[in-house]
Amino acid sequence: MEGLDPNRLPRHVAVIMDGNGRWAQKRLLNRVAGHEAGAESVRAVIETARRLGIPYLTLYAFSKENWQRPQREIQALWHLFRRFLRSERPRMMENEIRVRHVGDPDGIPEDVYAEFAALIHETAHFDKLTVNLALNYGGRHEIARAARLFAEDVRAGRREPDEMTPEVLASYLFTADTPDPDLVIRTSGECRVSNFLLWQIAYAELYITDTLWPDFREAEFVEALREYQRRERRFGKTSEQLAQERSARSAPAL
């Protein structure tokens, strides 16, 4: 796509999909209509990531905090999610897209999770694009769970306490076999991470757009990727150090 360097695309993009309710309110619709419109943006972003060859995409679909919303809206969200899984299954299979769950299965309605688990199983062998759906997810909960699992392994004699390192802790997270996000996109203009992938986004580039999620389609996604490519990721180093490293890599071998 114009203006994008295919060699500098992020390996993993994570998205905080925000603004469905405000989109609906601006149009004098109920909030559920906003979520339904947002599902079209999910399809567009998945398809764009697939065509660009981005290997990992994580979408924040339902947080632990979302249980505090009106019960009617919660029920509508689960109904929409189940319908989305059913309608998208042929597309996922045809395009060899792997679907994974990031989050806590407990609390998700049984019929919804049965549909979800079936799709996860059916797509487990695909590797062109992995779509992580963060559902019933909270970053603090994930880290606490990882610490608890490590403690259980210590108690069972499978680990020693001094084995704890950042890498070991990461192996207990929901995203253990997924690289950390390079780019986090948040729609609707809110400047916060909302308990999303707190451990994993330590070095991610953050891109905030005022666009509401139902209006976020291919063009907006590509613009976020362009902005990502305009940035310099330093990981604690200076620009001069990075320039020297690039020069050393491009120097002809003697």
Q: Which residues are catalytic?
A: 18, 66
Say if residue 148 carries a ligand binding annotation: no
What share of residues in the chain are helix, strand, coil (percent, to 5)?
Answer: 50, 15, 35
User: Nearest-CA neighbor of 203 among 222, 223, 231, 225?
Assistant: 231
Say if residue 35 carries a ligand binding annotation: yes
Say if residue 96 carries a ligand binding annotation: no
Neighbours of 253 (CB within 10 A): 3
Say if residue 34 carries a ligand binding annotation: no
Say if residue 69 carries a ligand binding annotation: yes
Name every residue whose Cβ is closer than 8 Å to that of residue 219 and which is 6 or more positions away in sequence. none
Collapse the DSSP code of 109 into the 3-class scheme (helix H, G, I; strand E, B; otherwise coil) and give the result: coil
Q: Measured between alpha carbons, how far is residue 40 from residues 44, 119, 137 in Å?
A: 6, 19, 22
Say if residue 155 carries a ligand binding annotation: no
The C-alpha angle 225, 226, 232, rounded to 5 degrees, equals 95
Say if residue 132 carries a ligand binding annotation: no
Say if residue 87 carries a ligand binding annotation: no
Say if residue 65 carries a ligand binding annotation: yes
Say if residue 192 carries a ligand binding annotation: yes
What DSSP designation does 252 have? P
Say if residue 128 carries a ligand binding annotation: no
Say if residue 98 carries a ligand binding annotation: no
**Residues belonging to the chain:** 254
Say if residue 236 carries a ligand binding annotation: no
What DSSP designation does 204 have? P
Encoded tokens for 19:
């603004």
Q: How far apart are CA 30 and CA 47, in angstroms?
A: 27
Name every residue whose Cβ is closer than 8 Å to that of residue 62 and which is 6 or more positions away in sequence. 77, 81, 103, 134, 135, 136, 137
Say if residue 51 carries a ligand binding annotation: no
Neighbours of 212 (CB within 10 A): 23
Annotated binding residues for Mg(2+), as ranges?
18, 205
Annotated binding residues, as ranges?
18-23, 31, 35, 63-65, 67, 69, 186, 192-194, 205
Annotated binding residues for substrate, as ranges?
19-23, 31, 35, 63-65, 67, 69, 186, 192-194
